[in-house]
Amino acid sequence: MQNYVISLKAENSRRGHIENEFSKQNIPFEFFDAITPNEAKVKAEALKLVVNQQFLTLGELACFMSHVSLWQKVVEENLPYIAVFEDDIFLGNNAQVYLTDLSWMPDDWFLLKMEAFCPRVMLGKSVSTLIGERSFFELKGLNLGRAGYVVSYLGAKALLKFITEASHLIALDHMMFDCFLKQNGNVFQMVPALCIQELELNKQTKQVSVLTSKLIIERNQRMKKYKPHNLSKLKRESLRLYYQLKNFIFAKPVVFK
C-alpha cells in the first residue's frame, strides 16, 4: 500500500505532525515534495492547461499541480491505486486497517474520498462495508476538500483527461468532487470519514489552528479582488440557497471518527 503526503520541504512543523500522526498507528507513508508556484506554472503550460488568475492563485496552482504530479505517477508506474493526503490532517480510529493494505478497493472505482468536510453530503446507495465500522457510499453531490482520498489507475487517467479538456482550471476540490463527479461517477465516500483537516476539526472543537495555511489567505484575497457582478452574485446566491435546502432535506451526515 502506498500512502503519499503532499508537503513542502520547509514545512518542518507540518511534517513533524504527520510523522507523529502516522507512526501512532504504524502506517507506512512517504512525503511527496509539493512543487513550487514557478514549477507549477511550467508544468501546467507543458500539459496545455488553461490557467486564469481569476480562478486560481499561483499558490493554489502549486497545490493543484502537486496532486496532478501524483496522478501522473500512478499512470506512468501503472499503480493500481494510491492514497493521497495533505500535511494538516488527523487520522481516525483504526486507520491502519484501511491504509496498510488497499486490496479491498475495487479496481473500477475512480476515487474514494476518505475525508470529512461538508457536514451533510448527497450520498447514493451503500456499496460495501469493510472490516470495522466504515461503509462506502456512492458520492452523488458536492463534498469539498482534497486532503484525503484514494485514486485508482483508471481514476488517475480519467482525471488527467478531464483537466486537459477543461475550459479552465478552478480550485482542485471543486474540480474533483463537483465538476469531475458530475461527468464521471465512480466516485465514492467513506462513512464515517477516516481523516479531517485540522482547520475543519477545530471548527468542531473550538480550538485555535496551529497548522495555518497561506492558501486560505491567497484564496480570500483572490475572491475579494474578483468579486462577481450583481447578476452573477444573485445567481450564485440563489444556487447556494437551493443546494442548502436540498442538502437539508436529502443529504446525510459524514462525520470524522
What are the DSSP calls for 39-71, one per residue?
Answer: HHHHHHHHTT----TTT--HHHHHHHHHHHHHH
pLDDT digits (tens, 9 = 90+) for 175-186: 999 999 999 889
Q: Is the pLDDT of residue 241 over 80?
A: no
Check residue 104 and give its pLDDT.
Answer: 84
Of 52-61, 66-75, 88-97, least confident by mean pLDDT is 52-61
Distance CA 64, CA 35 (A): 9
Q: What is the pLDDT of residues 113-167, one digit of tens each?
A: 999 999 899 999 898 766 678 999 999 999 999 999 999 999 999 999 999 999 9
**Which residue has cell 476515487?**
111
Domains of the chain from N-terminus onward:
3-253 (3.90.550)
Going 126 to 182 to 35 to 222, the CA torsion angle's sign is negative
Give me the long-range contacts of 74-81 (CB less than 8 A, separation at least 24): 74/151, 74/152, 74/153, 74/156, 75/153, 75/156, 75/157, 75/160, 78/153, 79/2, 79/153, 80/107, 80/152, 80/153, 81/105, 81/107, 81/150, 81/151, 81/152, 81/153, 81/155
Nearest CA to 6 out of 88, 72, 85, 111 is that of 85
Q: What is the pTM of this model?
A: 0.87
